[in-house]
Chains A and B, each alone.
Chain A
Amino acid sequence: MTTFSEWRRGGGEHAAPDYAVPEDAREFQGERAGFATRFLASVIDVALVALLMMGIWLGIEILQLIFTPGVEVDPPRAATLVLWGYLFTTLYWTVAWATSGRSLGAWTMGVRVVNRKGERVHWPIALARAAFSVGFPIGLAWAIVSRRNRSVQDVVLRTIVIYDWSLRAPLVIGSRHQK
């Protein structure tokens, strides 16, 4: 067992790791996240949005059945739903990345989006990245070959996705820039 003085000499006085993170995972916290994790995070987000859109569609159907029974309803076209899905995903990711840096999918997979200084991304960048990701999802595949695990979006907008399993509450919006 390490004595207290040994522990202290060994750098124990530096920022202590987040003990909420399992010991196995502490080592790679802050590193650039790989393709598989980011892909899964995106899949979770897209699945959530898809579920939400279906819920909205079902809701509309049910409301119409309740309030105007017998009336034939034109089901919304798939293209419309996808378009709304795109818009919603863009909005959702913009807010998620500009505030906490992580969407629900990203939180589940333990990753976070930061800018090239390691700080929270600004709103315009978050919006651009969200739109870019929604419009060109295949761009993520570049992370497979990129030496720095960068997607096309990361290369263009100079953003970084890091492993961050922290359970801490996300920062208040913009507080990082009030220094």
Chain B
Amino acid sequence: MDRDERSEVILVVRPVEADPPEGILGFIASVGATVGSAMESAAATAMDAVATVAGPPTSAVLDRVVPGVTDAVVERIDITGLVLGRVDLQAIVMQTLDRIDLTQLVLDRVDLRRIVEAALDSIDVTEIVLQRVDLVAVVDAVLDQMNLTELVEQRVDIDALVATVDLEPVIDRLPIVEIAEYVIEQTDLPAIIRQSTGGIAADAIDTVRLRSYATDVATARIIDRLLPRRGRKLDAPGDPESLTGGES
């Protein structure tokens, strides 16, 4: 074989630049990979040394032998077990966690919206709120914090609301007759009517009646003073027709 036609294989060891795998398992895997690559790199370094000392022919032999040997070695070693047994994974994890901003990582790398949507799709939020939340307490707290009256005054068109009210049932519940009697009594409507329609005759009769009543009272008082007794008992059974309407 011509010397010029031979090609030379040079293994270059460099750090793995792949994206860091996610999670602790991924991390462990990466540690394992690092260890593996370190071993590979050690073998390559040894091979380089041999190639340097022994020259190109030896290097070609090594090119053929070393990968096979390395593969055989790697196949026979339980790398995972080795890592689990020999490496202080906790310290590595802790140090790694100290170095990285997990929150920022999640914010950058995770599609939080999809996760939340998926979570919301899978659960009945209403049911959970009804079961877990003391809604009365919540509403009470909210009501305590706000001035409902003021809010209604500002936000509600009370006039429009009242305009929709059916007033007839309300009126049905009102004591209209009592209200009328109250108004009549407070305004002394009868006195107004008497003054406007009664005339002189009615006035005269009222005056005569009142005078004679006053005379009755005065006479009774004089007589009662002369006789050894206390006043008169003038209550009568039944009601006068003025008080009963004359129909009872």
Contact = CB atoms under 8 A, between A and B. Distances in A.
Task: Kindly name the residue among B178, B182, B210, B216 whose own CB sees the greatest number of chain A CB atoms within 10 A.
Answer: B216
B239 A34 contact: no
- Interface of A: prevailing SS: loop
Contact of A36 (B175, B181, B215, B237): B215
B229 interface: yes
Which 10 residue pairs across A and B have the least CB separation, nearest first? Answer: A118-B238, A34-B216, A19-B190, A18-B242, A30-B240, A166-B242, A36-B215, A164-B240, A118-B237, A37-B212
A37 B244 contact: no
- Interface of B: prevailing SS: helix
Contacts, number: 143
Contacts of B219: 34-36, 144
Interface of A: 1-2, 4, 7-8, 12-13, 15-26, 28-37, 40, 108-110, 112, 114, 116-119, 144-145, 147-149, 160, 162-166, 168-171
B233 A147 contact: yes
A77 B213 CA distance: 39
Given A15-B245, A18-B242, A22-B191, A8 B178 contact: yes
A12 B184 CA distance: 12
Contact of B185 (A15, A16, A28, A31): A16
Interface residues of B, number: 44
Contact of A29 (B182, B184, B242): B242
A112 B241 contact: yes
Given A7-B186, A110-B209, A23 B216 contact: no
B156 interface: no
B85 interface: no
B243 A29 contact: yes
A1 B186 contact: yes
